[in-house]
Amino acid sequence: MKRTKTGLLVFVLLAGTALSLYSSSGLYLPETKKAIVEVKYISAARVHNILIPYTSREGRIQVLRERNILIIEDIPEVVEKLLSIIKGIDVKPLDLQFTVDLILGSLSLESQREPMINELRSDPVIIELQKLLKYRSFTRLDSSIIKVQDNKYSTQRMGGENISLLLRMTPRLIKEEKANTFQVELRLSQRQGISEGKEISSTLIDTTLSLKSGERTVVGVSRLDGGDKALILILSGKVIQ
């Protein structure tokens, strides 16, 4: 009996020593906390990539792509930090509004379009274009207001009966001290027809530009009809939320 009690005591002492060594070596598993977060405005996969550098050695983050959910498990203080980061980046994108003017420049004066010419005559942008370009008349082919969220993709059909155009744009707002600036990826293409069930188009303007909020800017000029006419794209933008 004494031998049994002695053996049990030795086992307890050894177990305590082993646990102490396990703990002091840093191999023990500390208390962890789990949080389930539904991401609303950006992809959970993107948030996952942002959070990974901030996790501890014991932490892990699981992504449920189909539900846009993150399952976070880490030590409590790290979980709180990760939740704070998510709160700062998972915010509703700002609503932006862009005004797009399509101007048709021509080498010849066309009397039937005189009213439109007179309308544009006092436009500061058109006045500058008259100094830079050789075209004698300018008419507004189309005008459109496009509402899109920050860093989101948008498409708009423009032109009219005689010319079918598709405008694709992705704006990104850059906040600055004096004025907001937009960085806009933009492509304007013209529909040429359909071949074998597929739409055929040609790119007229393909560019990335910086645009100050409230400022009207000439995005590009593309020749039409062998150079006798030109399509001029003018853009302005502002934050509406």
pLDDT in tens, 167-193: 999 999 998 777 889 999 999 998 877
d(CA 103, CA 218): 10
pLDDT at 234: 95
Q: Which pTM value belongs to this model?
A: 0.69
pLDDT in tens, 187-240: 999 887 777 777 788 899 999 999 999 899 999 988 876 668 889 999 999 998
Mean pLDDT in residue range 72-86: 95
Nearest to 215 by CA among 77, 109, 99: 99
Which residue shows structure tokens 């055929």? 200
Higher pLDDT pick, 213 / 26: 213
What value does the mean pLDDT of the chain take?
82
Contact 237, 213 (CB under 8 A): yes
> Considering the chain, what percentage of its residues have pLDDT values greater than 90?
52
d(CA 235, CA 233): 7
Contact 138, 129 (CB under 8 A): yes
The class (CATH top level) of 30-91 is: alpha beta
pLDDT tier for residue 11 given thresholds of 50, 70 and 90: very low
Q: Is the pLDDT of residue 20 over 50?
A: no
pLDDT at 97: 96
Nearest to 232 by CA among 52, 86, 97, 101: 101
Query: What is 5-39 written as a DSSP string?
Result: HHHHHHHHHHHHHHHHHHHHTT-S----EEEEEE-
Neighbours of 188 (CB within 10 A): 24
Nearest to 171 by CA among 188, 143, 148, 155: 148
pLDDT at 129: 84
| Range(s) within the chain of domains with CATH label 3.30.1370.120 | 30-91
